[in-house]
Structure 1
Amino acid sequence: MATITKKIYFDKSGYYFIGLPILVLLGFWSSYFSKLFPGTNDYNSYFHFHAVMMTLWILALIIQPILIRKKELTLHKFIGKLSYILMPLLFISVILLKHFQLQKQLEIVNGEISLSGPSPHLLLPFKDLLILGIMYIIAIVNRRDINIHARAMIATGIVFIEPALSRFLIGITDSVPVGFLTTIGLVYAILIALMIVERKQKKGRWIFPLVLSFYIIVHSLIIFQVQIGFWETFAKWFAGLPLT
């Protein structure tokens, strides 16, 4: 007799994503929230704009699968259409915040723009934007195919794990290498675990391997300090734009 493989729809993912706000709160507590709540922070509006956009996207990741489980399809579709506005705003918030932060590294040497810090670290936020953008486009294009749509949307949520978890682990270990390497190890473990769980699925299995490949490529460039000429040029050009 042929073995029947049960389809995985990931409609319970919203309950798992409830852990994301907790992780974000822990990761950004000392640098942001601890100063925000008592009103003692002096952050630029770019920080607050990014925090709001990030919070809204995480809430959408929690609410949308729950709406599917509750058969609230009309509301699910309405929030999905709102994402056409939310995702671009999230992109803009990351770009503006990173540009604002890069201004502190900006120097003018012999009339030319120079960055005092290592520009390869710019790979981290742009890697997140790349994964977010690609996965979101895949999810929207395949919005009528739950097998692909659900996996791609979950992938957009996985992107939020690294920035928050790395800050939390670096804070408790007081070591950037230990915190960073532990974080990417855990992110890889989550993706590999998902790949193992759905190894017998016939559709959508390529989503998580694709995300993992993005992570491995960018993290390898950073860990082995690979210098990329065009990336250096891009970083200087980006930092010199009159955005913030």
Structure 2
Amino acid sequence: MPYRRAPWFVGLTVAVILVGFWPSYFGAVGRVPWQFHVHGIAASLWVAMVLAQSILIGKAQLPLHRAIGTASLFLFPFLIGGLFAIVDYSGKSFSRSHDPVETMLGGAFATGMLIAAAAYVTVFFRALKYRRKVWVHAGYMLSTPLILFESPFSRVLGMFVPGFVVTGPATFDRILPGIVWSMALELLFVAWLWFRFRERARPFLVTGAFIAVQMVVMTMAAGSRLFDPLLLAIGAAPSAAVVAVGMAIGAGASWLGWRAGRRDKRLVSVAA
């Protein structure tokens, strides 16, 4: 089994999610916008699925591992739809100016989410395409919690780490540095994996490239009005349409990735 300590990594990610999102989501489920629920439920189920998969493969429970893997084809559209729901929230909040954080960093948040969605679509497609290559498939699937890790970890920094603690409008300027440093930690982890496993860790390099782009674009967007038209367009669009676009992209990635990974029956018959 590749990455034998993977359950510990994914389990740590689950713990960070619970701590980081407790004040803004898990501890306030009755008071948050519906977009948070769409994203929160889908993302939580996804990480739980990856955790279960990493445990099952370690116990050689291949039939159950494959069954849950098949279910991921149907969960993935909701994962991407949930990301687009947060993009929708950013656009609506920015256009209506009712959330000071979104007014200040809406462009950074929206572009960051869109890049994250592109990263998820890419790595999941490749995980499906190369599902018969154990190290490649495992690397791409384990990359998906890494894409998510920055968001809750930056909130942990904002709650507990001096210099990053956010207490109100006067310290909102600490939000983006917390995000950037969390991404830097992700890139250090990718570098360690490459040093440890070399070519076998190539899937994490793909994810790392998306994270690096995310760092640069979010930093640029935070100090620019370049993305204001995008936010205003999202704000004016029906929320259902925004989420539906995300779900359609996710469904397309599931379908195309599954087809790309199928064995060619003609080659199998010749080999037989």
Scaled to the shorter chain, the TM-score interval is 0.7 to 0.9
One-letter code of the match for 2:56?
A: L
Q: Which whole-Å CA distance do the structure 1 matches of 2:57 and 2:96 have between them?
A: 51
Q: Which residue of the partner structure matches residue 130 of structure 1?
A: 118
- Pairing partner for 2:143 from 152, 155, 169: 155
Structure with the larger RCO, 1 or 2 (CA within 8 Å, 6+ apart)? 2
Kindly state the Cα deviation for residue 18 of structure 1 after the two structures are TM-superposed: 0.9
C-alpha displacement at 1:97, in angstroms? 3.1
**What aligned pairs does 1:167-182 form with structure 2 within 5 A after superposition?**
167-172=155-160, 173-174=164-165, 175-182=174-181
- Structure 2 match to 1:12: 5
Match for 2:42 among 45, 53, 58?
53
Whichever residue aligns with residue 147 of structure 1, its letter is W
Contact 1:132 1:159 in 2 (8 A): yes
Contact 2:147 2:207 in 1 (8 A): no
1:190 equivalent in alignment to 2:189? yes
Q: Which residue of 2 aligns with 1:66?
A: 55
Question: Distance between the aligned counterparts of 1:179 and 1:116, measured in 2?
Answer: 18
Q: Separation in 2 of the partners of 1:104 and 1:18? A: 33
TM-score normalised according to structure 2 size: 0.74
User: 1:10 is paired with a residue of what secondary structure?
Assistant: coil
Deviation at 1:167, TM superposition (A): 1.2
1:83 matched to 2:72? The reply is: yes
Say which structure is richer in helix.
2
Deviation at 1:132, TM superposition (A): 0.9
CA RMSD of aligned residues (A): 2.4
Measure, in 1, the Cα distance between the counterparts of 2:103 and 2:90: 12
Q: Percent identity?
A: 20
Higher mean alpha-carbon deviation, 170-179 vs 72-81, is at 170-179
Number of aligned residues = 223
Query: What's the CA shift for 1:159?
Result: 0.9
Counterpart position of 1:144:
132
**TM-score normalised by structure 1 residue count:** 0.82
Are 1:11 and 1:66, in contact at CA under 8 Å, matched by a contact in 2?
no
Mapping 1:194-205, distance limit 5 Å: 194-199=193-198, 201=199, 204-205=200-201
Unaligned runs of at least 5 residues, structure 2: 166-173, 241-272
Where do 5+ consecutive residues of structure 1 fail to align? Answer: 1-7, 109-114
